[in-house]
Structure formats: C-alpha cells, structure tokens
A and B are shown apart, each in its own frame.
Chain A
Amino acid sequence: MAVDASKWLSALRTKELQDKIKTAKVLCVGAGGIGCELLKTLVCTGFRNIEVVDLDTIEVSNLNRQFLFRKHHVGQSKAIIAAQVVKGFCPTASITAHHANMKESRFDVDFFRGFDLVLNGLDNLEARRHVNRLCLAAERPLVESGTAGYLGQVTVHLKGRTECFECHPKPTPKSFPICTLRNTPDRPIHTIVWAKDLLFNRLFGRPDAVSDLDDQARREDAKNASASANEGEAGVSGAAAVAAAAAAASNGPAEDPSFFLRRDGESSLEYAARVFERVYTWDIEQLCGVKELWEKRAPPKPIRIGELLPDTERAAMQAALEAAIAKGHGSASRALGLNNASQKWTPSQNAAVLLLAIAMYHDMRKEEVGSASFDKDDDLAVDFVTAASNLRSSCYGIPEQSLFDAKGMAGNIIHAIATTNAIISGLIVIEALKILAGCHDVVRNTFLNEFPPSKRLLLVQNPEPPSKTCMVCGKVTLSLKINTETATLSSLLSGVIKKRLAVNTPNLLCGGFLYEEGEGLEDDEVEAYTAMLSRTLASLPGGGLRHGSILTVQDQSQHFGVDVIIVHTEGLNEEEAPEGFVLEGDVPTAPPQEQEQDQHRQPQAQVVAAAVAAIAMMATTTPTKTRQTTAEVKEEDGVLILDEDEEEEVQGDPAALAATEVPSRKRELGEGEEVTQPQAKRPRLNAAVAIVEAVDGEDDDVILIDDD
C-alpha cells in the first residue's frame, strides 16, 4: 500500500500518466446529470478518447443541471448533443456518441474489452447490474456513481480486488398491497398510486392493464380465503372475512368494466359526474358496509358531487370545457384558473378539475381513450391524478397534495441539482486517474453528504474485498465460442456443461430461458425440457442463446455456479475446436466457498454495504420514495447515517477496523435536518448514502404485491 500511496502522490507529474490520460479509452455510460459533468471533467483533465452511451432524449426539466443542453436541444439524443457540445469547447477530443440502450447486444464483452476504464452515470439498477457484469467479464475497471439531491457516492469496482456492484443484495423497491390501495389507504402515496394505476387505467388505459390488477386482486382474495380454511373452525379468520366482504363489495356490478365506458348520448361531463358518483359515493358506501375493515380504523366518508359542485357550478363547468376546447388548453387546472402549482386545491376545486380533466380527455383526446398510459409530463394526466387522489384522500382523512407534490409522487421524480453531479464527476475522475496510474491500493469509495456531523463533506472508505459468496463476481465467468445456429441444447449439455464443466444436475438460466434436470421435477416439466434438447441454441425460448447472452449454469448439488458468455462463432475449424466449441477462461476446479465466510465480514463492510444498498433503493424508484411528508422522505430516500464509535481515520487497515466495536446505529437523515451528535462518544460520520441521478424520474410502475 505504501508503494502505491507514494507513487500516487507524484503520479500526475509523470509523463507516463499524462500520456496514458491522452491515449486511454474511456467508456461513459450515461449522458444525463452525472454524464454531462463527467464528460466535461474528463476532457478538461486531458482525456481525449471517449465513447458515451445514452438512450434518453433531452427534456426541459433536465436543463437545470445537464449543462451541456439548451432549450432548443429538447427532444434530441443526450449522447449525441453532449458529444457535440463538449467538442465545441474541446475540439481536440474524440467523442463517439451512441444513442442506444447499453443492453443492446452490440455492446458485448468485446466492446467492453476495447476500453481502459468504464465510468457509470446511470439512473437505474438494471443497467448498473448489466454494466457491472460486463465489466467483470471483460475484466475492465468500473467506477460507479449515483446522486440524489445533495447526496452522492462514487465506488470503485476492480475485479478480484474490490467488491463488485452486486456483492451485496440491493433492497427491492417498496410496493403496496392492492387491498391497501383499494380499501384501506392511509397515506398520500396510496391514493396517488390508486389514482394513477387503478383509476387512470380504468378510465383511459388499456383494458388489460386493469384486468391484470383485477386478477391479482382475485388471487389475493383467494389466498386469504384458503388461509382461513386452513385455520379450521377455531380461527375466526378476520382476514378472510374481510377479503370476502371487500371482494363482494368491490367485485359486484362495480367491477363490471363496462360501467366505466361512456354511454351513447352521454355528454362528457355527464359521464365524468357518473364516474365521480360511482367512485367517491357508491364505492365508498359499499366499503363502509364491510364492518370488519373498520374495527381498528375510521371508515371513509363518501362524498357527493352535489355538495362540492352545486348545479350552478356544473353549468359553469360546461362553459369552462367549451372554452378549453376553443383555446386548445392542455391543462384542466389552468383552464379553471388554478395557476399556483404549489397551492393545494379545495375539495370543490378538486372535483371541478377531475370532471373537467375527464371531459377534456373525452372531447379533446378521444383517440387516446382506451390506450393512454400515465405520463408525468402530460399536464392533463397530472391534473387528473392530483384531483382524483385528493378527493379519495378527503374521503379517508389523508392530507391532500398540491399539483407540484402530486406530480413528484406520481412521476417518481427524484430531485436533482447541478452541484452534486459536478462534485461526483470530479471524484469519479480522481478514482479513474488512480486506476490509470496503476495505484490500485489507493482507490477509495467516497460519499458526499449535505450536512456532515463532523464537518466532513466528503467521506472516504477503503473498498471491501469481493464477497466470496457473491453470485456475480464470486462466480467464474467463461466465454464460449460456439455456432448458436447449428449447435443444439443437447450438444451444449453433453459437450460443455457435463463434460467440460463436470456439472451433474444442471440448472441453466438465461433471461426467459430455463432448463433443469434432477429430482423433484413434474412430469410435464421434464417433457417440456426434453422437447427443447433438439433445438438450436439460437432458437431456444426467451429469445435464444445468442451472441452476448450470459448463461448462468448452476448445480445445487455441487454448490457450483458459473456464468458462460456466449460468443457466436461461425466456421470454427476442426483443429481449434474438435468438439465444435471453444471454452475460454479459468475453468473452475473447486466448488465456491461456503456460506459462513460471510459471517466474518467486518462491521465496516456492513457500513459500505448499507450505503451501496441504498443505491439500489434509489435506482428502482417507485412512488414510495418520492416526497410525501418530510418525515417520510427520510426513510424513503434510503439515506442512512450510520454512527460509529471509532476515532481513527476510516482509511485504516481493515483488520484494525474490524477490531473496532461498531454499534452500527442507524438513523435516517432527513432533508435539511442537522445531525445531532451523541454526547458520550465522539461519533464519526459514516457515510451513507443513496444514490442515483434518476434524472428523469423513471416511470417505473409500482409493483403491486400480495398483502400477507
């Protein structure tokens, strides 16, 4: 370590490193918030050979931080414009832009091998994991990063030396049980998700989007019912009774989807009023009748349209609708003069916006009805969701939301500022320089906080060594040259899997393709698998095993696992491939390490793990993590502050750190909240942070899960 440390001190003064900077090939994954800053910092540092990949196009809400983009660029490719603008201030830089998805097969292992460094500025977990695996397979260093608000982090992943991005499982995104959404919401997010995923789709979306949810609800009900049967007569199954009653309440004529279709001769506002009465009056009354639901909570109160909008105002609505059509208004709230997005609407205003939004959809965007999907940049959709969720909230006594806040929650908008991305870009490049200088012992993971308790804005930590039990980097990766058009699954199994890898009972997995052998399989499974044997690799289910596919081979009985990257190769000759394939890489000989090794991990590792895990939280954003109340943001932004009773620098020897007692108290840090320091012992901030420049607030749908 000492050698690398002193080498690093003077490395930048050496011609050797300066030359490497000029010639190094760098892959920048992402040209968004972090990507723009990173491209700038790279060329200003002297890097000249850069390729950048980004799938996204530029939006207005990017312009407050993605400083390479101008208003007239809106709608164009981020990667292409970023490359163009950077060349404007650095004409000597060569920047190749790919307006593409990183997961396309052309960005295969060979593509990654063409780079000296891979730098991530991504906004979603899926792509991060993909890049992580390709970097491991191609044996290329990865510097990974993420930001959210004032928080950010940079981590370094060197195969065989430091943890890979997936050494620790990422928390799964939070989801809501359907029955909470349908029957017993108690937080603003519940009514927003209900308005966006249930009511919006019911009125404007594809019919199957709703029926999927209906199916799921029925499964929940069935499950609850069977649970009660198992409990026998002694158990008065509250859950089952509730489920059955609620199902009866909501699945009666109510769930007949045709009710929500507009009828012949019905005006759009009459239709809207009928929907209103059904959803906020009838449905709520039915639910109130399910007494079991309200034993421990207050029942909702139905609302009536006549009370919120007297007939006189209903007439005014018709005028507002005609004016909106005449002027081509895109927004129902603005058509009603509700111009302050941060001001909450009154119940009457919510009702007016809801009716007008439904009517505008039908009168102005008729062709979309039946196929629309919620888009946070669609003003009318945001109006609808805000009003619909607020009305439901008022039934349930849940605080209502302003348009601005409802939009943030419904659209999974992650807040983002330029400064954090700038700082993170600098830290990424510093780690990149260390790697380029060959000073692997001095690479660090760095965490950025808003109000660090010990005045340390930047916190550094030694990266942990790879987890021996990691399913991704703990596993050996092999590459298999084979003709996927001619080789069959049967020949792959006999020649490669069983013979060369000595796997006994293989379990093969690749995307939508699964093949299993061994005991415990059903007859029909065995039959289905046997039928696959004669198919060529390329024609297997789930898109086939093709060039770039990563096939996971496991054998539970052997505690064995390996990833095989398929390299489609035609014309393999007899000499180099007598068996019809070439398997490259370190073919494993010993089974991987046993589980208990993990228990000896140092506490410090857990700190890092928690922080890195937070990345994932942010990466797969669901509305749960958007703003609700300040108190909730703390938890849901995945921001963890871990206190440690530890005085020495974190940079110390991991072994020494392991000996330090770490109480590992977790506290959530809220936005703007200053961390109070415990009196008794000197705390040192330890990181943690969350991550993701989820720049554009991915519109990932909420995952709806079962309740029990």
Chain B
Amino acid sequence: MLPVLDTLTEDHAAVYDRQLRVWGVEVQRRLIEAKVLIIGLGGLAAEIAKNIVLAGVGTVALVDDTAASSAAPGNFLVEPEASAGKSVAEASAVTLQAMNPLIAVRVERGPPSASALLSPAGLQPEGGATDQVGPQVSDSPGGPTAEDLRSLVSRYDTVVACGLPLREVAALDDLCRQLGKQLFAGEVRGASSFAFVDLGPRHVYTVKGDPEEKVAEYRSFREVMKADLKNVNKRTHPLYLTLRACWEFEEAHCRPAGGPADVAEVQAFAQRLTSATPAGNTAAAMKALIPEALVEGFVLDGAAVAPGSAPDQVQEAAQPLGELAPVCAVVGGAVANNVLRAVSHCNPPLRNFFCYSYLARDGLGVEECF
C-alpha cells in the first residue's frame, strides 16, 4: 500500500489510486469534504449516486421514502432479497455504503419530491392526482413542509433532484438560490434525457494548471424556461424546446404532461414555441427543430404514468418505456462528472443543459446554454 498522500489516508490512496491520477490529491480532498443530497432514486439517480460515491464524495444523503418493493426497475442499488421493509433510500444506502466504506451515506426522510415548496394557492392538481407522491404527502400533516425542505437543503452543498415535475424543479431551484446551494436536476424519459445545472449567479472555479480563478454565471430554471427564443437555431438540441413545451403544459395544468392524452397539447405548445424562433418559419424547419416523434416519446415515456389513462386501454405502442437503462448510464455519467467539477470547483461544469436522446441527432450528447 502506498504511504499517505498529504492528508489522504492509506486506504484512500489505495482505493482512489487510479482516479488520483486523473484529478489529483487536491480535488480528491475537496470531494471528501463535499456533501451532496440526492432526491428521488430512480434509475438516473442510482447512476449518479453510484458515480459520486465511487469518486469519494464525503457525504451522500438520499431522500426517497418509496417502499423498496416499488423501486424503479432501473435502480440497481436495491437488492430485492435484502430490502424487505426498507424504503428505496434505505435499501440503496446499504449498497452505496458497501461500495465505498470510506465515505458516509445517509438517509433523509421524505418523499422523492419537492412538492411541499409549491405554493398551495391555485396549484391544486387537476382531478386530485398528480405524480405518485403528490397531494397525499403535501396535504398530510406528517409530510414534509416547505420549512422541512429548507432545513434539509441547507445542510448540504449540492442537491441532485431526479424525476421531479418541472414546477418542482423550478421551486427547488429558487430555494437553492436563496440558500446558496448548487442544483442539478434531471430526468430520463424513454430514449431522451435532460439535465439542468444551476450553480448560482457566481460559480468560482479554477482550471488545472492555471492558478487564476474563473467565474461562471448561471441562470435560474425559471429564467431558462423563458429565455429568448431568438437563440434557438437548427443546431439547438430539440429537447430544449420539448422541455419548454412540457413546462408550458405544466404551468397551464398544474401537473406534468404524461401519457397519450397529453401528447397533442404538448405538440401544440411545441409548435407555438418553434414558430417564435427565427429558424422556425417554415414547416420543414419546424420539423427539424423539434421532431414529433421526440415530443411524443418524451410525453409518453414520462416515468410516472399519467393518472386516468387505464393501462388496458393503452395501446402497446403507447406503453411508457420509463427510464431506459442505457440512457441513465450515459446521462448519469455526464451529470456525475459535472457534480464532481461543481463541488471541487475545479474545471468548468456544464452550463446549463445537457441534452441527450438517441432518437435525435444520431445520439449526439450536447451541452446547451440558455
């Protein structure tokens, strides 16, 4: 075993040897000091959690009260036989802790949601239902309040939220901005996935080999969802407009778009947005900017099946694919790399969207900035 590397212990040096050769002792030390909170442990979050635990982020906390027996199929951290009676967060924590005994893995109580942050007035979901944790939790007296979430987030440096409705992403982002915390939000819907990054108005970082500090400015999720469409061109990844169309749907209906019944309306939002871009003035250009199959897939494959659409009436073709594992692996790897950059303040992190779909652009993975 190697002798101690600065303040790293021998155990650290032995286990982290190969990555120390990638990012060095200083970054490793900052990772060990970092505290990351992960909300919602589906397939994408499982990938991100695995990656940052292996990298040696010192404290990783998990929030997902869902019963382990109902874990997302993509969450490979839950061992069915060893997880009876546990929550998804608890079962995942056991595996993550075994994966890296040199760090602390914690479980924080709460649903995989930020719905407590949504202001109660005028935001009651249609038909009394939304995503699986929806109103029951926020209405129930024992559920987390906005204050609980505030106190939770304030104990960590960075929040990773996966699979939240877009309005919850926006509300959580507002909270993180207030508290000066970093936010990563992402979702995998079938073949498509996005990740959003907000490291606040002034993220300071250095680049390896250059002592000079650099600053990156980030915009809030709300701003990004209202960004000027004149910057959208034919090179912009179509998922950006798709996401904005879903955002507009959610604003209008107070619930996320999901399932076949919502496809047409999201398509209509998408077309309106497209026609407002400089490049979207012809039908052909519009199709290029935002392929219908992509929007359709994104809406159909929402991780949560929209309530009210009885499964037996749904055609085989309209069955939601949920989170596709290979997409989780790709985007989970990309997001984790950027969480590591963000918490170590070393190298420029993603600013501020990562878009990937193997249905668009041949599977090009693109960073977009809005």
Given contacts A15-B316, A333-B3, A339-B3, contact A426 B329 (CB under 8 A): yes
Interface flag for B332 (CB, 8 Å): yes
> B41 to chain A: closest CB distance in Å?
13
Chain A residues with Cβ below 8 Å from B14 are 60-61
Interface flag for A482 (CB, 8 Å): no
Selected contact of B330 from candidates A14, A426, A671, A672, CB within 8 Å: A426
- Kindly supply a per-residue 1/0 record for chain A positions 3-16, scoring 1 wherever the CB is within 8 Å of any chain B CB and 0 otherwise: 00000011011110
Interface flag for B261 (CB, 8 Å): no
- Using CB atoms, name the residue of chain B closest to A425: B329
Interface flag for B224 (CB, 8 Å): no
A416 to B51, CA, bound (A): 13
A414 to B19, CA, bound (A): 10
Chain A residues with Cβ below 8 Å from B55 are 64, 417-419
Is B209 within 8 A of A672, CB to CB? Answer: yes
> B195 to chain A: closest CB distance in Å?
11
Q: Within A418-472, which residues are at the interface with B (CB < 8 Å)?
A: 418-423, 425-430, 433, 442, 444, 446, 451, 455-460
Chain A residues with Cβ below 8 Å from B79 are 88-89
- Using CB atoms, name the residue of chain A closest to B53: A67
Q: Within B67-104, which residues are at the interface with A (CB < 8 Å)?
A: 73-74, 76-82, 95, 98-101
Interface flag for B262 (CB, 8 Å): no
Is A456 within 8 A of B366, CB to CB? Answer: yes
Is A457 within 8 A of B5, CB to CB? Answer: no
> A231 to chain B: closest CB distance in Å?
47
Is A404 within 8 A of B20, CB to CB? Answer: yes
> A466 to chain B: closest CB distance in Å?
21
- Kindly supply a per-residue 1/0 record for chain A positions 53-80, scoring 1 wherever the CB is within 8 Å of any chain B CB and 0 otherwise: 0000000110111010011000000000
A423 to B363, CA, bound (A): 12
Interface flag for A707 (CB, 8 Å): no
Chain B residues with Cβ below 8 Å from A13 are 316-319, 321
A61 to B21, CA, bound (A): 12
Chain B residues with Cβ below 8 Å from A133 are none
Selected contact of A422 from candidates B17, B77, B293, B332, CB within 8 Å: B332
Which bracket fits the contact residues of A?
A: 35 or more
Is B207 within 8 A of A416, CB to CB? Answer: no
Is A44 within 8 A of B16, CB to CB? Answer: no
A446 to B364, CA, bound (A): 8
Q: How many residues from B make CB contacts under 8 Å with A?
A: 78
Is B354 within 8 A of A457, CB to CB? Answer: yes
A442 to B25, CA, bound (A): 42
Is A457 within 8 A of B50, CB to CB? Answer: no
Selected contact of B54 from candidates A407, A418, A459, CB within 8 Å: A418
> B282 to chain A: closest CB distance in Å?
19
Chain B residues with Cβ below 8 Å from A40 are 76, 325, 329
Selected contact of B317 from candidates A10, A339, A379, CB within 8 Å: A10
Interface flag for B367 (CB, 8 Å): yes
Selected contact of B366 from candidates A12, A70, A455, CB within 8 Å: A455
Chain B residues with Cβ below 8 Å from A65 are 18-19, 54
Is B326 within 8 A of A429, CB to CB? Answer: yes
Selected contact of B293 from candidates A10, A91, A627, A649, CB within 8 Å: A10
- Kindly supply a per-residue 1/0 record for chain B positions 39-72, scoring 1 wherever the CB is within 8 Å of any chain A CB and 0 otherwise: 0000100010011001110000000000000000
> A383 to chain B: closest CB distance in Å?
10
Chain B residues with Cβ below 8 Å from A9 are 293, 297, 359
A40 to B1, CA, bound (A): 30
Given contacts A418-B51, A444-B363, contact A408 B21 (CB under 8 A): yes
A614 to B44, CA, bound (A): 31
Given contacts A44-B43, A379-B1, contact A342 B19 (CB under 8 A): no
- Using CB atoms, name the residue of chain A closest to B14: A60
A240 to B101, CA, bound (A): 60
A442 to B363, CA, bound (A): 10
Is B25 within 8 A of A41, CB to CB? Answer: no
Segment of B131-139, B215-223, B239-247, B333-341 engaged in the interface with chain A: B333-341
A70 to B94, CA, bound (A): 13
Given contacts A422-B332, A426-B327, contact A90 B76 (CB under 8 A): yes
A150 to B21, CA, bound (A): 12
> A604 to chain B: closest CB distance in Å?
14
A419 to B348, CA, bound (A): 17
> A678 to chain B: closest CB distance in Å?
18
Is A426 within 8 A of B326, CB to CB? Answer: yes
- Using CB atoms, name the residue of chain B closest to A432: B326
Selected contact of A64 from candidates B19, B76, B81, CB within 8 Å: B19
Given contacts A13-B317, A60-B14, contact A45 B19 (CB under 8 A): no
> B67 to chain A: closest CB distance in Å?
16
A364 to B352, CA, bound (A): 58
Chain B residues with Cβ below 8 Å from A341 are 2-5, 13
Is A41 within 8 A of B209, CB to CB? Answer: no
> B307 to chain A: closest CB distance in Å?
21
Chain A residues with Cβ below 8 Å from B100 are 63
Is A649 within 8 A of B362, CB to CB? Answer: yes
Is A415 within 8 A of B22, CB to CB? Answer: yes
Chain B residues with Cβ below 8 Å from A43 are 76
Q: Within A657-673, which residues are at the interface with B (CB < 8 Å)?
A: 671-673
- Using CB atoms, name the residue of chain B closest to A331: B3
Is A419 within 8 A of B3, CB to CB? Answer: no
Selected contact of B17 from candidates A413, A446, A651, A673, CB within 8 Å: A413
Interface centre among A408, A426, A428 (most CB of B within 10 A): A426
A457 to B365, CA, bound (A): 5
Is A458 within 8 A of B365, CB to CB? Answer: yes
A156 to B54, CA, bound (A): 29
Is B15 within 8 A of A45, CB to CB? Answer: no
- Kindly supply a per-residue 1/0 record for chain B positions 111-122, scoring 1 wherever the CB is within 8 Å of any chain A CB and 0 otherwise: 000000000000
Is B76 within 8 A of A334, CB to CB? Answer: no
Q: Within A313-370, which residues are at the interface with B (CB < 8 Å)?
A: 331, 333-334, 338-342
Given contacts A89-B76, A423-B330, A426-B328, contact A64 B209 (CB under 8 A): no
A256 to B136, CA, bound (A): 86
Given contacts A12-B191, A627-B21, contact A89 B78 (CB under 8 A): yes
Interface flag for B190 (CB, 8 Å): yes
Chain A residues with Cβ below 8 Å from B332 are 422
Given contacts A426-B326, A457-B354, A671-B208, contact A417 B19 (CB under 8 A): yes
Chain A residues with Cβ below 8 Å from B101 are 71
Interface flag for B361 (CB, 8 Å): yes
Is B190 within 8 A of A61, CB to CB? Answer: no
Interface flag for A37 (CB, 8 Å): yes
> B140 to chain A: closest CB distance in Å?
31
Is B18 within 8 A of A427, CB to CB? Answer: no
Chain B residues with Cβ below 8 Å from A446 are 363
Those 9 A-B pairs whose CB atoms lie nearest each other, nearest first: A426-B329, A458-B365, A44-B325, A672-B208, A423-B333, A415-B21, A426-B330, A429-B326, A426-B326
Name 9 interchain pairs, CB-CB below 8 A, sorted by A. Answer: A14-B317, A43-B76, A61-B17, A341-B4, A341-B5, A403-B3, A414-B18, A415-B19, A425-B326
Q: Which residues of A are at the interface with B, using a C-beta cutoff of 8 A? A: 9-10, 12-15, 37, 40-41, 43-45, 60-61, 63-65, 67, 70-71, 88-91, 149-150, 331, 333-334, 338-342, 379, 403-404, 407-408, 413-423, 425-430, 433, 442, 444, 446, 451, 455-460, 627, 630, 649, 651, 671-674, 695
Q: Which residues of B are at the interface with A, using a C-beta cutoff of 8 A? A: 1-6, 13-22, 25, 43, 47, 50-51, 54-56, 73-74, 76-82, 95, 98-101, 190-191, 207-209, 293, 297, 316-319, 321, 324-330, 332-334, 336-337, 340, 347-348, 354, 356, 358-359, 361-369
Interface contacts beyond A423-B333, A649-B362: sample of 9 additional A-B pairs, CB < 8 Å, sorted by A: A10-B317, A41-B325, A63-B15, A64-B16, A422-B336, A433-B326, A627-B21, A671-B208, A672-B208
